[in-house]
Chains A and B, each alone.
Chain A
Amino acid sequence: MKIRSGRTKSNLRKDGRSSKRWGFVTPLVFILPNFLGFSIFFLFPVFFSLYMSFTKWGILTAPKFIGVNNYLKLLFDDKLFWISLKNTFYYTALSIPLSVVVSIILALLMNYKLRLTNFYRSCFLIPYVTSMVAVALLWLYLYNYEFGLMNHLFKLIGLPPQEWLISSRLAMPSIAMMSVWKSMGFGMILYLAALQGIPEIYYEAAEIDGASFWSKLWHITIPLLNPTTFFYVIISVIGSFQVFEQVQIMTDGGPGNATTVYNYYLYNNAFEWFKMGYAAAMSYILFGILFILTILQKKLFSRGWMGY
């Protein structure tokens, strides 16, 4: 029995299966396009960025090696760096817990075997797939103090009109609320899938023991959703450090510096003020921050914050 094998050597291994030792050509052909794109636009930039972070590099000037000066300046001599970091964490604290709660509630509602689930799901998906630019512009209009829908609705129910994006106190919460609105669909689908994976047996056993609705929710459902929450929180934290369009379009980082988030400050450094080495250092600090946060979250969730 001859096996047509092209460029291969087929040796019979001890267990009788032929070992597939292919030459370089076939894998090379398959991997080449993706690898080419990957190495030029992903792998190479990672290292080049590291190099850049140790230089002073303007748009027209040649790069000048300055060691760790960028990092030192960022950490010890740049107020706006720390402000942007604080703002980003503030945004995270505002948006993530709310997102998680809303998503879980929506998923629980959808899980109840109602009809029209497709319709509801479509409704919640629409804000999610819309570009952040369009959403930001839309909400810029909705949040307008004089003629925006939000203040109109507030007046309808008897509340005073708010300054929303013009107030340094409310600007960041406004942006956070918009983000929660936009990502409801994603979280809902995520938690719904997780809910559908919880075996019925757990609930049945609890009912036999006389568990109430709340007790089932608190002691079975929520702890079993922990891995999903962990995943969602990590994704959201990474996402909150990528906030850009909202700030650029709605507030320009203001009022004052109230909404200057990390990514916005980074972009300005790189492409408005052309301090590209400085911005590269910011990007590596960002990498470090996300890395640490991920590890922290892993520790937090594995210990079981519910005590289970």
Chain B
Amino acid sequence: MKRGRKKVNIIIKTVFHILLLIGAVTALLPFIWMVKTSLGTQAEALTFPPRLIPTTLIWRNYQKLWVDYGFSRFLLNTLFRATTITLVSTFACAMAAYAFSRLRWRGRDMLFLAYLGTMMIPYQVMLIPRYIIIRDFGWVDTFRALIIPSLFGGAFGTFLLRQFFLGIPSELDDAAMIDGCSKFGIFCRIILPLVKPAMVTLALFSFIGQWNDYIWPLIVTNSDRTKVLTIALSNFVTHHLVFWSELMAGSVISVIPIIIVALWLQRYFVRGIALSGLKA
């Protein structure tokens, strides 16, 4: 009886593996195609039926993008933007979350309601006034326009971290206070280390969101000096001729850093998604 059960188990496991492999191939094949095309010539990109491996692996596309088209600059811009916003906003949200959860002050709960309220509002509502603010400040096509609106975080990050802060028992605060610790000291030495996972999760989502952002840079920038990768990629598409091999190389450049970061910090990703669903 047991041996039969084991056999069925193995069959099921094999079938499941096969199904998952099919899924994995579906997920990865387009990317393999992306890399393959980026290493070939434009002519090869247009041939039909396509060859699996390009005749020669050429790095010419990458060279062209990096040097001639200025992708080194665009990568730098994107990195600068994403890193700055992520670092500053995560801490700003943590500080605000601390104030909302640990300190008591007049208007605290009412203000938090306002935070909650804006979270339900789609971003399109805020998009147009933000543009007008940027325009009236004279910040069009500057890094200030790219960075400052999101620099100190919004409602979501604060909300998320506040939930975590609330889970920390207040006895820790009391103990620290008896030892003569200031509120700021409590924040730095006790709370922050405890919510590090949550902050890393928030930072990860923030970084990816900023790196992949398209609409906002589209609206506020228009020169090569401030161009980010997403915009640079979209510039490849004209209505007539698309240089696929170069475009794919550009895509690879823009995609590899994020993939590396996401896979390295995968468990924070999983935790973030899982928790948001479970809390709902």
Binary contact track B1-37/A, C-beta < 8 Å → 1, others 0: 0000000000011001101100110111111011001
Whether B12 lies near A271 (C-beta < 8 A) is no
Q: Which residues of B contact A231 (CB under 8 A)?
A: 276-277, 280
> Which A-chain residue is minimally distant from B106 (CB atoms)?
A24
Contact of A49 with B274 at beta-carbon distance under 8 Å, contacts A27-B108, A132-B212, A181-B27 already known: no
Binary contact track B215-245/A, C-beta < 8 Å → 1, others 0: 1000100000000011001101100001010
Whether A121 lies near B266 (C-beta < 8 A) is yes
Q: Which residues of A contact B259 (CB under 8 A)?
A: 126, 129-130
In the bound assembly, the distance between CA atoms of A157 and B150 in angstroms comes to 49
- Which of the residues A44, A45, A228 comes within 8 Å of B277, measured between beta carbons? A228
Chain B residue total in the interface (Cβ 8 A) = 104
Is B67 on the interface with A (CB-CB < 8 A)?
A: no
Whether B96 lies near A34 (C-beta < 8 A) is yes
Contact of A270 with B127 at beta-carbon distance under 8 Å, contacts A34-B158, A286-B122 already known: yes
Whether A109 lies near B19 (C-beta < 8 A) is yes
Whether A137 lies near B251 (C-beta < 8 A) is yes
Is A37 on the interface with B (CB-CB < 8 A)?
A: yes
Is A93 on the interface with B (CB-CB < 8 A)?
A: no
Q: Which residues of B contact A118 (CB under 8 A)?
A: 266
Whether A249 lies near B128 (C-beta < 8 A) is no
Which chain A residues in 133-161 approach chain B with CB under 8 Å? 133-134, 137-142, 146-147, 149, 152, 155
In the bound assembly, the distance between CA atoms of A27 and B102 in angstroms comes to 9
In the bound assembly, the distance between CA atoms of A37 and B255 in angstroms comes to 29
- Which of the residues B48, B126, B214 comes within 8 Å of A147, measured between beta carbons? B48
Contact of A244 with B214 at beta-carbon distance under 8 Å, contacts A3-B178, A41-B149, A114-B17 already known: yes
Is B110 on the interface with A (CB-CB < 8 A)?
A: no
Binary contact track A41-81/B, C-beta < 8 Å → 1, others 0: 11111101100100000000000000000000000000000
Whether B13 lies near A130 (C-beta < 8 A) is no
Binary contact track A260-291/B, C-beta < 8 Å → 1, others 0: 00010011001100001001101110110011
Closest CB-CB distance, B109 to chain A, in whole Å?
Answer: 12
Q: Which residues of A contact B158 (CB under 8 A)?
A: 34, 38
> Which A-chain residue is minimally distant from B212 (CB atoms)?
A131
Closest CB-CB distance, B151 to chain A, in whole Å?
Answer: 6
Is B198 on the interface with A (CB-CB < 8 A)?
A: no
Binary contact track B121-158/A, C-beta < 8 Å → 1, others 0: 11111111111110000000000000001111111011
Closest CB-CB distance, B210 to chain A, in whole Å?
Answer: 11
9 A–B contacts from the bound complex (CB under 8 Å): A22-B183, A40-B133, A43-B114, A45-B130, A122-B266, A127-B31, A130-B258, A134-B255, A137-B237
- Residues on B facing A (Cβ under 8 Å): 12-13, 16-17, 19-20, 23-24, 26-31, 33-34, 37, 45-50, 88-89, 92-93, 95-96, 98-100, 103-106, 108, 111, 114-115, 118, 120-133, 149-155, 157-158, 177-178, 180, 182-184, 187, 208, 211-212, 214-215, 219, 229-230, 233-234, 236-237, 242, 244, 247-248, 251, 254-255, 258-259, 262-263, 266, 269-270, 273-278, 280
A43-B114, A123-B27 known; 12 other A-B pairs, CB under 8 Å? A3-B178, A5-B177, A6-B183, A41-B133, A116-B17, A124-B24, A137-B233, A152-B48, A152-B49, A270-B127, A280-B125, A287-B121
